[in-house]
Amino acid sequence: MRVLGFRLPGMSSLILWGLVWEAVGRSGLTFFLPPLSEVFATFFAIVGTAPFQKALSETAQAFLAGVFSAVAIGIPVGILMGKNRLVDELLLPWVNIFLSAPLTALVPVLMVLFGFGLKSIIITTGLFAVWIIILNARAGVMQINRSLVEMARCFGATPWAAFSKVYFWAALPEILGGVRIGVIRAVKGVIIGQLLISIVGFGALFELYSANFLMSHFWAVLVVLFALAFAVSEALAALERRVSFYAAKR
């Protein structure tokens, strides 16, 4: 967008919304919403504290481990389903059920099965992410040009070579799209898991802050989480754009 001949960088409108927030906060309309400046001040005050650092590292651990397992399981399973009718028939109904299932309802069960700790949160995170990654990898493989597959066979590709040199790359744009959506879901998973278990990571912090009506602390943590999730998603989108040049030309 251009204003008075100046090109505004993307998302400049956030500044406007920040001002609105500040104004509403200062008007003292509700204790629930402190001014944005206070939220930022609180953020800088708590960012170095031990509880915040602990919450951040626990969340990062759970998130990375969950996403890593979802990707490591989801991509090969999806590719296998796309290649093999039998595997596809066996797994597709489950993938579709879990994709649309309210996974939040499963978290208490996971807590019973895997305890009230990091393990349950990692599994929750993975469960939120993995289904869409599977479905997208499968869709990516199913749209592969038949003659690329025949070309690989014709020149004597072993199954592993066909997988790693043809199928994976041909499906990469769809796979990355799936990973991006999966990662966004994983952010939800890691937070929901922590909130329900609420003795780990940001769940514990939220519990602490909201129980004590520390609203600016609460908002500071929330803004951090939103910003992190957004940054992760944008980074993946940028990666996706790098491979889309050939996706369009297949």
Which one of 102, 155, 211, 238 is in contact with other proteins (CB under 8 A)?
Answer: 155
Query: CB of 2: closest distance to other proteins in angstroms?
Result: 33
Asked if 175 is part of the footprint of other proteins (rule: CB under 8 A), the reply reads no
Which one of 142, 157, 195, 196 is in contact with other proteins (CB under 8 A)?
Answer: 157
Asked if 11 is part of the footprint of other proteins (rule: CB under 8 A), the reply reads no
Query: CB of 248: closest distance to other proteins in angstroms?
Result: 8
Let me know if 4 is exposed, middle or buried by CB neighbors in 10 A (0-12, 13-18, 19+).
Answer: exposed
DSSP bridge partners of 112 = none
Asked if 154 is part of the footprint of other proteins (rule: CB under 8 A), the reply reads yes
Asked if 161 is part of the footprint of other proteins (rule: CB under 8 A), the reply reads yes
DSSP code at position 166: I
Query: CB of 191: closest distance to other proteins in angstroms?
Result: 36
**Which H or E run contains 222?**
helix 215-247
Which one of 45-53, 75-83, 163-171, 192-200 is the stretch in contact with other proteins (CB under 8 A)? 163-171
Among residues 9, 101, 54, 6, which one has the least CA distance to residue 221?
A: 54
- How far apart are alpha carbons 167 and 174 in whole angstroms? 12
Query: CB of 41: closest distance to other proteins in angstroms?
Result: 49
DSSP letters along 94-132, please?
A: HHHHHHHS-GGGGHHHHHHHH-SSHHHHHHHHHHHHHHH
Asked if 145 is part of the footprint of other proteins (rule: CB under 8 A), the reply reads yes
In this structure, are residues 129 and 229 in contact, taking their beta carbons and an 8 Å threshold? no
Which one of 47-55, 60-68, 150-158, 184-192 is the stretch in contact with other proteins (CB under 8 A)? 150-158
In angstroms, how far apart are the furthest CA atoms of the chain? Answer: 73
Helices (H) and strands (E) in the chain, counts: 12, 2
Asked if 160 is part of the footprint of other proteins (rule: CB under 8 A), the reply reads no
Query: CB of 175: closest distance to other proteins in angstroms?
Result: 13
Asked if 116 is part of the footprint of other proteins (rule: CB under 8 A), the reply reads no
- List residues near other proteins by CB under 8 A: 145, 147-148, 150-158, 161, 165-166, 169, 172, 243, 245-246, 249-250
